[in-house]
Each structure stands twice: as structure tokens, then as C-alpha cells.
Structure 1
Amino acid sequence: MADTVTHPSPSRSTILITGATGFIGEHICRTLLDAGYRVRAVHRKSTRILPYQHADLEWVAGDFSNLHAPEQWAPYLKDIAIVINSVGIISETRYQSFQDLHARAPMALFQAAENSKVKQMIQISALGADQKARSAYHLSKKQADDALRQSSVRHLILQPSIVYGPGDHSMPVFQALAAMPVIPVPGSGQQLVQPVHVYDLAAAVLQAVQKPPKNNLTLPVTGARPLTIDELLQTLSLWYGKRKARLLHIPNWFMALMAQIGSLIPGALFNRETWQMLQAGNAADARPLEQELGVAARDLRDHYAPYSASTWQKLNSGLFLWRHLLTLSLALVWIASGLVSLFWARAMGYHLLARVGLGGVFMDLAFYGASLLDISLGLLVLKRYRPYTLAWVQTLLVGLYTLVISMALPEYWGDPFGAVLKNVPLISAFLVWGALEHAWQKQQSQ
């Protein structure tokens, strides 16, 4: 079935948690382990290094992109009393779709849980996965929720709003915006959000495990009070130590255009889906959570108000957005270099190759090959394809260009505009870009 890392004592029933290496799943897993429960945690097969170990923790490999039949889930459910599904993605990739991860795999898991006589199923859904759902994200979540409601398994569906806390992927976007001198606000800024701390969500799951509700329920999981996007950004601005937040509201038409462009860029956080969800708002009544599970969620303003952002937090927020600018800049350098060589500076290119000592067919191969290679590298950078490896490929290529120029055209080192000297900071930019993108992709894949 999977690679088992530890073998906890069989004397207690086990809780199965899917998405255990993700932001929400990891916090739920740690909370249950701290409470003394035994956990079987499902991780993606592509996760090379498991993030944490515990005597009562058993790791098993499983990919929601492929587990779409109930019989595939049967081995995972052996000796399982409770199942918690926390798998979720905010945007689709080539290998991960909303339908696969939010609908097909969970529905197969629910059927398998029913077949295996699992005592309780807890589904981590999303606020907005209801009759008003319009985005593909929410519709896929709703599809699984509806299937679970038809199941005979005792169940609880938790629908969290934006979840924040250590390791989250959503709040850093707002923090990065709030860190800017003038804060760009999408649309009117009056859209309501009600972020919930991941500790409160994990506490709700723990309460549901310890004292299961008498009836099958669907509960919104939100912070104590809603706030507008303007208020959220103003709160974060004060956290950064600013006296006053300068807000610049971006028209809806421009946001829609940026969303269209973002949808064409792999890994972009802002796309048609996220823009549609942001426009719809994300708030609900927080009282049912406390009434049913006894969890009084904290207010985001109370979480940020008592503290000031550290130097590292300010730096990290800046890097969150600057990495996108760095990606676009490096891609532009490569693509523009290739296009300029092909269409506007062909004579100069051939002249330089002749001075290097190339001629005939070798000159043609070098000219067209280098131009097409530059354009290809730019497209790969834009796609963020294997950034760590690609950073070193760029470094070696520019290093090779620099070496050839140094040997055949040494006078270019004395160019007053730094034609060759600019390669030094460019190489540094490659390595910084590779490290940032590699770290980001690693976090996203968990």
C-alpha cells in the first residue's frame, strides 16, 4: 500500500488524515498527535522528505490524482475509526485538477469509508461551497460535500473561510500588498472576508473527534467578525508599523484583465478563479461553530494588533511579490535577447561570431542556435520549470558566454555601459531566483 515510516502501538484505533503534509492537514495532524491520538497520515508520493515524525504517526503514500476507486482506498482504511479529508488546492496545475483532488478522490474515499464501516468522516471543505457556488474550486468542493451528505457514514463538513497561521499560503499575499508604500486594493475593497486561524480550525476538528456531534452537520468555520479587504489591509499595514495606510483601488476591469493574464501563467496565485472568489466575498456567522463544537474563534485584528512585524517578516513579505518581478525580468532578458538577435541585430551577431573565429555553417548554427536557446530559456523561466536546475543552466550559459568574450573579445570588459560586467549581478539574480522559486514550489507541493 505505501511506505511506512513508523509503527505505532496497535492497541488504539487510528485516525486517517489525507493531505497531512499540507498547511491545514499538518496542523490537524499535530493537534491530534499532541492530544494522544494515533494517526495514519497520507502524503503524496512526490513528497521526498516527510516533514515530521512521532511515535504514534504512520506515514503512507497516496496520490489523490489517481485514487478514484473505492477499492483503492480499502487498504488505507484498515483498522481506521475516523477519516479526516484535508486535501485541497487553490489553483489547478498540469498534474492536479479540482475534479480529481476535490471531487473524484474524496467521493471514492467516502464510499470506501462506508464500505469499511468507518465511525466518523470529517470533511474539510470551503466556505462558499454551497448553492451559490460559481467558481470551479467551490463547485468541486460542493460536489464532494453533496456526496458525503448522501452517505450513511456519520459525518461533519467543516467549511473554513481563508485560513491563516504558520505556513499558510493566503495571508502572505495580503501581507505583501500591505507592505508596499501605496497598497493596491482589488476592486472596491468592500468585499467581506473572515479569516480563521488554523489553530481554531484544528481545535474544531479535535473537538469533533473527542465529542462527535449528535447529528450530521455542515458548519462554517470563520474568524469572530467579518472585515472588508480595506480593513484587512489597514490592519496589516498597522502591523508593519505604518501610521496610515495609503490605499489605491484598482478598477474591476483592470483586475479582470490581470486575472486573465494570470490564468496563462503556471503557478500564478491571481487568476480568473481567485478573482471570482475574491469578488464573491468569504464571510459567515461564527456562532454555530461555538454552539456545536465549543470553539470560539479569534478575531484576526486581535491576532495582529498586539504585535509588530519583525524585520524577517517584513523582508519575507517583500520577497513574496519581488520574486514575481524577478521571474518576469529574467524571462524578458532571455526572450528579448533572442528576438533582437534574430530580427534586428543579425549583422552585429555575425560580426561578433566572425571575430570569435567561427565561419560558414558553424556560424549559422551558433547564431540561430544561441538565439533560439535564449528564447527557450526565457519561456522556461516564465513557466518556472525546475527552477533550481534552470538557475544553474542559466548560470553556466552566461558563464560560457562570458568566458568566450573574455578570450576572444577582452576589450568588452572595458565597455562604459558594462556590457560584460553586467553578467556578474545577472548570475547572482539567477541563483537568487532559483532558490526562491525552488523553496516556493517545495512549499506548494506539500
Structure 2
Amino acid sequence: MRTVVSRLIHCRSFIPRLAAMTMSTNGRYLSMESNKVDEPFKVEEAETVNVPPPPTDKLLVLGGNGFVGSHICREALDHGLSVASLSRSGRSSLHDSWANKITWYQGNLLSSDSWKEALNGVTSVISCVGGFGSNSYMYKINGTANINAIRAASEQGAKRFVYISAADFGVANYILRGYYEGKRAAETELLTKFPYGGVILRPGFIYGTRSVGSMKIPLSIIGSPMEMVLQRARPLVQLPLVGPLFTPPVNVTSVAKVAVRAATDPVFPPGILDVYGIQRYSQHKSK
């Protein structure tokens, strides 16, 4: 019992001594390892360094002054992207305020020397290039022109490439042979050059407000009801020959949303999206 009491007394007498050894005296601290008196720790003011903000992703829209391309440009601007457009006519004829925020390039994808500058600093590309005419012309515009763009973008180090292609329409594929052969050739090239960042959208009829000069053509008057009806008739698409004619139309806003997301989201799955996939992804909010 006496031993326990003596130990308690010893511990109680040690605590004040420990506190005295570590307490501050006139702003100085006593070292526990020696009798040396340490000077106060001096904190120097940190130097201000101007760090530039992280670079903004740059998106190049091929055919950005067209019906689908203009909607894609506006959607990309809403996402805070730096947006450029390349087309044969150059600057859009639209007088909307958003058009002033686009860097416009004029060039022909069939002539590489006229448009390579547009790819400088580009991180992703969306191509809306396409057209109708003779079979040879359609193959050049839908196929060769896009293949040239895909190869050039790959060489310049672009990370992602989105191609607005077209849904199969059965009999129409044969009637517009050059159109569809060109589209499919471009798709094959894209999946080869961008196996992890290439996305192909295959919409059918795209509706929305189309600007022709100063006129606004509301294609949604026809397209929206058709989409609602044909969306419920999805099993009919499986019918031989005529089935693809029941492919529902899709709103141009939905196409633009999915295209921009596919071009900027590094985890967006590569590959082919049909009209139902476009509708599904357009309803999901980007993270």
C-alpha cells in the first residue's frame, strides 16, 4: 500500500515539471532534449503565383452552319466549350448572338490543304457532313470527305470523334446506294482510327426548327407526332424489307445533346447508337 501511494505522489509531482519544461517563456520554447532555448518558429509570407486556368476543351464541328450542326454548336457553347466550325461556306448566315462566339473556318474536306488549320488544338470532332446527288457524289461527300477528316483528326491527336450517320431504311438503302455506301465506309474508318473514342449516331428523320434564310420552318409539327406514334410501334421495325420505314424520327435537340456528350465525356461508350439509343441518352443528365 505504501508503495502504491509513493508512486502516485511521484507521478503527481512529475506532471507539473513536465508542463514547466514545455511551456512557453516570453515567446521561446524549451527543448526537451537539451538545455537549448529554441527561437520562435518564423512563418514567411507565401509568394503569390498566378496559375493559369485549366485549358478549355476545343470542339470542331464539321458542317456547323447546317441544320444539325448549328444546334450542336449551340449545345456545345452551353457546356462552356470552345467551339469552331468548318464548312465549305464558312461563317453561318444566321444572325443569332451565339454565332459570334464560334470560330468559323472555310474549307473543303476533299482538299486537305484548305482546312488543316482548323484542327489546331482540337480535342474532339463532331461531323455532320453529308449530302445527296449522284451515287458518285454522295459517296464522296458522305464517305471520302469524312474519311479524310477522321484520318486528319487522328493524326493531330484528337481524343474523340463523333459521326452523325444515318439509320438503315431497307429499300431506301438501295435507291440511295452511294449515300449509304459512303456512310458505312466512314463508319468503318472511324471505328478503326478511334476504337476507344469513336461514336456513331444513326438517327432517322431529324426534326426541329430549320432556318432557311430569314424563314423558320417548324418541322416538329410533323416530326413530334410521328415520333410518339412510331415509338410505340417499335416491334414493326423487325418486319422484313418495310420494317426500317417504321423507325421513329428524333428531335434535333436530342441529337445535339448526345453528340456533344459523346464528344466530351471520356467514359461515353464507343460504338454505334441507333435512334432508340439516342433517345435514351438524351434523357440522361451528364455528370
TM-score normalised to structure 2 length: 0.60
1:296 matches 2:280: no
Unaligned runs of 5+ in 2: 1-52, 223-241
1:105 matches 2:145: yes
1:144 matches 2:186: yes
Preserved contact between residue 201 and residue 278 of structure 2 (Cα < 8 Å): no
Q: How does 1:45-444 map to 2 (within 5 A)?
A: 45=89, 49-54=93-98, 56-63=101-108, 67-68=109-110, 70=112, 72-89=114-131, 91-92=132-133, 97-128=137-168, 133-134=173-174, 135=176, 136-152=178-194, 154-167=197-210, 191-213=245-267, 215-220=269-274, 222=275, 286-287=276-277, 290=280, 294-296=281-283
Task: Evaluate the alpha carbon distance shift between residue 48 and residue 205 of structure 1 in structure 2; reply closer, same or farther with a 3 A threshold.
Answer: closer
CA distance in 1, matches of 2:92, 2:258: 30
1:17 matches 2:61: yes
**What do residues 397-431 of structure 1 show as CA deviations (whole Å, max 9, x unaligned)?**
xxxxxxxxxxxxxxxxxxxxxxxxxxxxxxxxxxx
Preserved contact between residue 59 and residue 81 of structure 2 (Cα < 8 Å): yes
Preserved contact between residue 63 and residue 127 of structure 2 (Cα < 8 Å): yes
Aligned to 1:41: 85
State the one-letter code of the partner of 1:149: L
Aligned to 2:73: 29
**What do residues 330-386 of structure 1 show as CA deviations (whole Å, max 9, x unaligned)?**
xxxxxxxxxxxxxxxxxxxxxxxxxxxxxxxxxxxxxxxxxxxxxxxxxxxxxxxxx
Q: What is the number of residues matched between the two proteins?
A: 205
State the one-letter code of the partner of 2:73: C
CA distance in 1, matches of 2:123, 2:92: 28
Q: Displacement, 1:29?
A: 0.7
SS at 2:210 equivalent: coil
Higher strand fraction (1 or 2): 2
Q: Displacement, 1:14?
A: 1.3
Q: Displacement, 1:13?
A: 3.1
CA distance in 1, matches of 2:88, 2:105: 9
**What do residues 240-277 of structure 1 show as CA deviations (whole Å, max 9, x unaligned)?**
xxxxxxxxxxxxxxxxxxxxxxxxxxxxxxxxxxxxxx
Preserved contact between residue 164 and residue 202 of structure 2 (Cα < 8 Å): yes
Task: Evaluate the alpha carbon distance shift between residue 48 and residue 115 of structure 1 in structure 2; reply closer, same or farther with a 3 A threshold.
Answer: closer
Unaligned runs of 5+ in 1: 1-8, 176-188, 223-285, 298-446
**What do residues 180-222 of structure 1 show as CA deviations (whole Å, max 9, x unaligned)?**
xxxxxxxxx98413100111111112322342345421111x2
CA distance in 1, matches of 2:87, 2:95: 10
Task: Evaluate the alpha carbon distance shift between residue 29 and residue 93 of structure 1 in structure 2; reply closer, same or farther with a 3 A threshold.
Answer: farther
Preserved contact between residue 73 and residue 109 of structure 1 (Cα < 8 Å): no
Q: Displacement, 1:87?
A: 1.4
Preserved contact between residue 125 and residue 162 of structure 2 (Cα < 8 Å): yes
CA distance in 2, matches of 1:37, 1:158: 21
CA distance in 2, matches of 1:296, 1:45: 33
Preserved contact between residue 73 and residue 112 of structure 1 (Cα < 8 Å): no
CA distance in 2, matches of 1:12, 1:215: 22
Of structures 1 and 2, the one with the larger relative CO (CA 8 A, separation 6+) is 2
